[in-house]
Copies of this chain bind each other. A is one copy, B any other.
Amino acid sequence: MPSSPRTSPAKAPLSRDAIVATTLALVDELGFGVVSMRRVAQALDTGPASLYVYVRDRDELMALAHDLAVAPVELPGESDGDWRARLELLVDRIVDALGSHDDIASVGLTDVPVGPQTLRVTEEMLRLLRVGGIDDAACAWAADLLGQYIASSALEKAARLRAQRDLARADATGCASEEAMSEAFSARLDVVYRSLPADRYPTIAVLAPLLTGGHGGSRAAWKLRVIIDGLLAQDPALR
């Protein structure tokens, strides 16, 4: 039988790194929830059983992909300002990196990520907090709090990107890009809040326009500022 020439250049010889990279690419293309072991295997031109040589679980595979997603994050340098400016920049970059790979940030909410890339940025976060004079115990808990913020914000960003893409694909013509996107994203929630009985939920009714707005980045920046201000307000004695 003639050795059928592969359609792909040579068929990469299947390695842990190749599997993880393919997984992350499929997450970008299809979405986090839809990427299955079978699909990853198919993309690598093999069967699902082959993956288990290099990876224990789907969970482990997704944890590895999560870590790979953090890899492009550059640590802020000395020209980026004082510790606080650098910390905010670093956290922003992590959110950006994770948020551009669909819901892969949800991995960080289930179990604490301990991959080398995540450790790399965590180390820098902790270092900056200490430079800022934060108490040691507060540093540790602050890293936890910031981790929650990062995962939540990344998920939010991913949801917004998804809604944008879906909407852009829906009406393939031109559309009033920016504002229409944002509006359509929060439209569903908006109609819920606006249709509530104002006598039972008076405060929600009053704040309804504010509850669904500000997704353009100012909301996330505000949250991060709140957390860091709150950190600085703690007495160094700590409880």
Contact = CB atoms under 8 A, between A and B. Distances in A.
Interface string A213-239: 110001100110111111111100011
A139 B207 contact: yes
A227 B225 contact: no
Contacts of A149: 148
Given A126-B207, A204-B119, A109 B155 contact: yes
A211 B123 CA distance: 12
Nearest to A124: B203
Contacts of A114: 189, 192
Interface in A197-212: 200-204, 206-207, 210-211
Number of copies: 2
Q: Is the interface of A mostly helix, strand, loop or mixed?
A: helix
A137 interface: yes
A6 B61 CA distance: 46
A152 interface: yes
Given A126-B207, A192-B114, A233 B222 contact: no
A148 B152 contact: yes
A213 B140 CA distance: 9
A139 to B, nearest CB: 6
A54 interface: no
Interface string A122-140: 1100110010000011111
Interface residues of A, number: 56
A192 B122 CA distance: 14
The 8 A-B pairs with the shortest beta carbon distances in the complex, nearest first, are: A230-B230, A140-B210, A226-B230, A229-B233, A126-B203, A229-B230, A148-B152, A140-B211
B223 A145 contact: yes
Interface string A101-123: 00000100110101000010011
A183 interface: no
A75 interface: no
Contacts of A227: 226-227, 230
